[in-house]
Each structure stands twice: as C-alpha cells, then as structure tokens.
C-alpha cells in the first residue's frame, strides 16, 4: 500500500491485492472525479460499448427492480434507469457516490458493502455489478450476497475484465496492461498508482471458466458468459432457482 501525506490528512493512493475495504474505498475516493473519463481513455473508448451490451443482456423495463452493486458514479445505472426500471446504485466509496450524485442527481444512490448487503432476501429481479467484483476482498461472499437478495428466477449479470482467448492477442494485451497502461496513467492521472492496481488486479483475476465455477459454487444456475473485445471483458449471467 502506498500512502501520500498532505498535512494532517492521509490519502491511500493505491490498494493492495489483499483488497482491504478501507484501502480500496480510499483509492476510489481519490480518483472519483475523473474516473469515468480515464476509464474511457485507457480502454480506448470501449467502456460505453461494453455497458451497452450489458444493458441489452439485462433487458431492463418498467416495474423491474435492479440493484447495481459497485455502481460508482452511476454510469452503469443510467441506461437501466432510463427504461423506467427502479434502480438502486450502491457503492462503498463515498467519493464515487458524491461524484455520481452531482452527475446524475435523478438516480438513487446508496452507500453500502457488497459483502454485507442490507436488503432483505428476494427483493430484486436483477443484481448486477460492472468492473467491481474483482475489487471485493471475498468474491464468493459478494456473489452469495447478490444471490440472496435476488427473487427466485432472478438473474445476476456481471461485467468484468477477463482473459483474451487468443494467445497472441493475450500476450499483447498483458504487455499493454502491465507496461503501457501505468505509463499512460502517470501522464494523465493525479493518482497513477490506482491504475497500477487496476492492471495488477485484472491480471490476477480468474478467467471466464473459473468465475463461472465460482458462481455455480455459491448456488447460481444456468451460468453462461459472453466475451467482448476478444475476451478482454466477459459478461457472466446466472439465475436463482
């Protein structure tokens, strides 16, 4: 963990791969203001396209209750709410929530922990999490909590970085991820260490098959996934019986 000191205030600029909640939250507080812009830039503009596909898979509609976990500034919640669905945008980071409320004052934001959801059992038609599951300290617990609050027959939709399926492209991608991305972040971000964490956490994350196995282990059924951009991102879905 790297800490930067400003007078009496302490800012955690980079979380470790142990993913202590306070470190992760503080790191995202520090990058909240420019988080969406930098993500679009560093993904070469693909984040909007990935979210569009996720929305088409979720198929939100009026009357549907959706819990968007690790919603950040609300970029993933906005297109869901635009259809008339009831969406709760949940995030652990106060900084991300503050930025989201300024950007999307019409959305319903709530601070909460993916590992200890405060909702009752069987409340939501959809639980979804975009690029946030790998930042939790206990993946299985986060999945179990998302399953618990789903109604029977409800779905979880996970959008997360994964592993390219083509070996040559995977080698190129990992070279970009571990070398070029941190170098770019140092030039354009006030907190480049956060993006070094991003690269390391993606590299350490389970591949498509391993994540599907974790979902099945906690109780999801009919688990499947769809690869996007050669497998850089995968969208996993699973149902509650």
Per-residue pLDDT for 37 more than 70? no
Residue 34 tokens, joined: 């420019």
What is the mean predicted confidence (pLDDT) over 140-146? Answer: 98
Residue 241 tokens, joined: 């019986």
- What is the structure's pLDDT at 105? 96
- What is the structure's pLDDT at 15? 41
- What is the structure's pLDDT at 4? 28
Of 86-90, 126-130, 175-179, 203-207, the poorest mean pLDDT is in: 175-179
- What is the structure's pLDDT at 17? 43
- What is the structure's pLDDT at 217? 98
Please name each of the domains of the chain with its CATH number: 34-239 (3.40.50.150)
Residue 172 tokens, joined: 């190129």
Higher model confidence: residue 37 or residue 221? Answer: 221
- What is the structure's pLDDT at 9? 32
Q: How many CB atoms lie within 10 A of CB 86?
A: 16
Per-residue pLDDT for 59 more than 50? yes
Higher model confidence: residue 33 or residue 237? Answer: 237
Does this model's pTM top 0.85?
no
Which DSSP symbol is given to 149?
Answer: T
Classified as helix, coil or strand, 66 is: strand
Convert the pLDDT of each residue in 161-204 to its tens digit. Answer: 899 988 888 888 877 777 777 777 777 766 677 767 777 888 88
What is the mean predicted confidence (pLDDT) over 40-63? Answer: 88
Residue 93 pLDDT level (bands cut at 50, 70, 90): confident
Quote the percentage of the chain above a pLDDT of 90: 57
Q: Are 23 and 16 in contact (CB under 8 A)?
A: yes
Residue of 57, 37, 15 lying closest to 158 (CA atoms): 57
* Phi, psi angle pair for 84, to nearest 5°: 100, 0
Of 5-14, 97-106, 162-171, the poorest mean pLDDT is in: 5-14
Exposure of 139 by Cβ count < 10 A (0-12 exposed, 13-18 middle, 19+ buried)?
A: buried
Average pLDDT over all residues of the chain: 84
Q: Are 178 and 201 in contact (CB under 8 A)?
A: no
- What is the structure's pLDDT at 33? 62
Per-residue pLDDT for 131 more than 70? yes
Residues 6+ apart with CB under 8 A from 235: 50, 53, 54, 57, 157, 158, 159, 225, 226, 228
């Amino acid at each position: 963990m790297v800490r930067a000191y400003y007078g009496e205030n302490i800012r955690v600029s980079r979380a470790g791969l142990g993913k202590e909640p306070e470190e992760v939250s503080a790191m995202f507080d520090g990058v909240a203001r420019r988080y969406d812009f930098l993500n679009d830039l560093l993904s070469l503009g693909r984040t909007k396209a990935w979210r569009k596909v996720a929305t088409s898979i979720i198929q939100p509609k009026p009357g549907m209750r959706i819990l968007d976990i690790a919603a950040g500034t609300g970029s993933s919640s906005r297109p869901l709410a635009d259809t008339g669905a009831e969406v709760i945008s949940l995030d652990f980071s106060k900084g991300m929530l503050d930025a989201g409320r300024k950007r999307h004052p019409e959305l319903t934001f709530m601070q909460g922990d993916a590992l200890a959801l405060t909702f009752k059992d069987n409340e939501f038609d959809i639980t979804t999490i975009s690029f946030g599951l790998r930042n939790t300290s206990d993946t299985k617990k986060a999945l179990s909590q998302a399953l618990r609050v789903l109604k029977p027959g409800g779905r979880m939709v996970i959008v997360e970085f994964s592993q390219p399926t083509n070996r040559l492209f995977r080698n190129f991608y990992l070279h970009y991820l571990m070398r070029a991305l941190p170098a770019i972040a140092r030039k354009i971000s006030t907190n480049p260490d956060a993006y070094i964490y991003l690269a390391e956490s993606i590299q350490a994350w389970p591949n498509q098959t391993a994540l599907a196995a974790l979902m099945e282990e906690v109780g999801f059924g009919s688990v499947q996934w769809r690869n996007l951009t050669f497998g850089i991102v995968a969208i996993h879905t699973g149902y509650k019986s």
